[in-house]
Structures are given as C-alpha cells and as structure tokens.
Homo-oligomer: A and B are copies of this chain.
Amino acid sequence: MTFNKTRLEKLQKKLSENKIDLAYISNFKTIQYLIGFGSDPFERTLALVLFADSEPFLFTPALEVEVAKSTGWPYKLIGYQDNQDSMKMIIDEIKSRNVSTNKFAIEQSHLTYDKATHLKENFEGSDFSFNLTPIIEYQKLIKEDDEIDKLIQAGKDADLAFEAGTHALMLGKSELQIAAELEYATKMRNVTEMSFATLIQTGSHAADPHGETSDRLLENNSLVLFDLGTVYEGYISDMSRTVALGKPTQHMKDIHAIVLEAQLAAQEAARPGITAAQLDNVARSVIEKAGYGEYFIHRLGHGVGMSEHEFPSIMEGNDLVLQPNMAFSIEPGIYIPNDLGVRIEDSVYITENGAIPFTNSSKELLIF
C-alpha cells in the first residue's frame, strides 16, 4: 500500500469542522486505512497524530521505520527502541509543536486505559470527550473506486478457492482436510492469505454457525457448508456456499431452496434508498414465511472492506440508508440443531442500479 493523501485530508476536514485541535490515532487498522502503513504493534506503541495547526507525525517501533518510510509517508516519522518510554516521546513531540491542545479526538473504543490516562495527565484540562471511532467508521463506509477494484479481485480469488474446495470433496476426508486443500490451491496461486480460517462443516455440524472446522469426517448423503475468503492488497472477500455430498434428501433440498430464495430476494432488493433493517427483513420474511424464522439466528450481513468488521451492519434496528459504494455481505442461513445448516452468502457493493456481487460461483445446490 502507498500513502494516500485523500483519506487523510478528508479526515482532517472533519476534524476541523468539529474544532478538534489534535487527533491521537491508535488503531493500526485505522492508520493502515489512512496512510497505507500499519501493522499490529501488539505490546508496542503505534500512533498517528494529526493537528489542526501543524503537520502530522507517525510514531512506530524502530523495527517498522523502514517499512513505514517505503510507503511514502511525507511527514515526520519517529521510531522508538524497546527501552525507551514511547508515551513520553509522543507527548514531548506534541508539546514541542506549541499548538493548541485543548480539544483531543481519540478512538474511544480502541485507545487503552493506560495510554489515555497518560495523555490526560499530561494535558490537564484538555477535553477528551470527542470520539473518533464513528468518524473513521463512516469514512470507511463509502468505498473509493480503487477499493471496489480490490474487493472485486478478492472476490475472484474466492470463487477459485471455492472451486478448488469442491474438487477436494471426497468421503474419508475430514473438514480440516478439505480446508487444507482449498487453501493450498489458493496459496499456490500466490494469494498471500485467507481473510479468516476457512470454515468447512459437514452434516449436523453445520447447524452451529459459530462452530469451527474440525477433524470430523465428511458424511455421505449430507450437506457441506463452505465459508471462506481471501485477501487482495489488504481487501477481503467473504462468501458461503452449501453443497451436497452424495444424494441430498428432499428436506435438504427444500431448506437450501428457501435460503437461496431469501438470499436472492435480498440481493435484488439491495439498492440506494432501502435501509439496512429493511434489507435484513426482506430475507428474514422469506424464511419466516417458510416456517423457519426461528432458525435464522444471526443478522443478514456485515460490512466488508479491509476486514469483515466494518459498517454497515445489515440488521434489525439499523436505519442506515444504503448508498452507492457501500459494500457488505448478504448471508441468510437456516440452522436446525442435530439436523443441518445451510448458509448462502455473497458480498456485494451498491451501485445506482442495484447490488453487484463480488463472488459469482453458482448458488444452486451443487451435488458432488
């Protein structure tokens, strides 16, 4: 990733509208989004500090300085060694600017108690009540065109990964082995990483939407649920398909057909103007009318971008109106304990003319 001035300027405009003197940004994912550099510092300190009346600076562990430089960061960059007091160095740098520090913006849902306390003690009387988290989340909500391009590429990789996974299906293999073959084929194509551990669930195991891929052997005449994604230049794909191994029963076919109808109905309804809650309800109504409402036990979808933990959340109660270039998953499911689980998921982005999916694998009940 390389430095992208646009995103930083957009945020700084927002800060100035809110009369913020300085913003202390601690979440490496936010920093990654804003300036194209940022990796998890774990117990170390990473910070991006923006000012109303001074140039920003980036503060990183010494080991990261070269990588940070290579992304083209044009402002001050401070590296620190493990034996140095990182927070003191940051505070000293802020004070050296001799600018107003009355109103801070911090990521209240990320900045930790100790670091926040350190800042508050050193800037006594300053106002820390402004929360940067929603500002950042809303900026990430509307994807730029080059972000959409990366999501499209990640979707193509996911389609190929799913195809490889279906080729691996065979009685005698475990869920973990199918995941291994799917990921192997994907990484042999030089895809750097999966966006999450590939989920393969067979038979009644798929009834637990929060279960994990296990050493359970594939069952004959049964359904197999795939949930997978890949990463392309920091942007993820996320898709689910449910297929049959052997001969599916009529009951399996029926449940699959209901979930597919719900997924397609929501994908068709997803366009500018509808709210997230209304969209959730489009899919949920289909499943409820078929009599399986109690088995659709999660929200319809989540935002996708640099992770699967973004806005918009497609769920009851969210009155956010969908707009062009929002990107999210549409993933209804029916989970009947001790019986089966079916989920079908495409991630999509919104255009003036409707939703376009990033993944294009068949959603029919494929039989292997």
Residues 115-152 of chain A: 1 if any B CB is under 8 Å from the residue's CB, otherwise 0?
01100000000001001000000000000000000000
Cβ of A67 under 8 Å from chain B: yes
Q: What is the interface residue range for chain A against chain B?
A: 35 or more
Contacts of A210 in B (CB 8 A): 63-64, 67
Contact A187 B180 (CB under 8 A): yes
> Which stretch in A104-112, A238-246, A247-255, A266-274 binds the other chain?
A104-112
Residues from chain B with Cβ under 8 Å of A111 in the complex: 112-113
> Are B192 and A187 interface neighbours, CB within 8 A?
no
Identical copies of this chain, number: 2
- Partner of A42 from the list B107, B116, B117, B309 (CB cut-off 8 Å) is B309
A352 within 8 Å of B (CB atoms): no
Once the chains bind, are B212 and A190 in contact (CB under 8 Å)? no
Q: Are A110 and B112 in contact (CB under 8 A)?
A: yes
> CA A174 – CA B187 in complex, angstroms?
10
A187–B177 touching, CB < 8 Å: yes
Q: Mark A144-176, 1 if CB is under 8 A from B, else 0.
A: 000000000000000000000000000000101
Give me 20 other A-B pairs in contact (C-beta within 8 A), A109-B113, A181-B184 excluded.
A42-B309, A43-B109, A63-B210, A63-B297, A64-B210, A66-B208, A83-B316, A108-B113, A108-B114, A108-B117, A109-B114, A110-B113, A112-B113, A116-B116, A176-B187, A177-B187, A177-B190, A180-B184, A183-B184, A184-B184
Chain A residues near B (Cβ < 8 Å): 42-43, 63-64, 66-67, 82-83, 106-114, 116-117, 128, 131, 174, 176-177, 179-181, 183-184, 186-188, 190-193, 197, 208-210, 212-213, 215, 297-299, 309, 313, 315-317
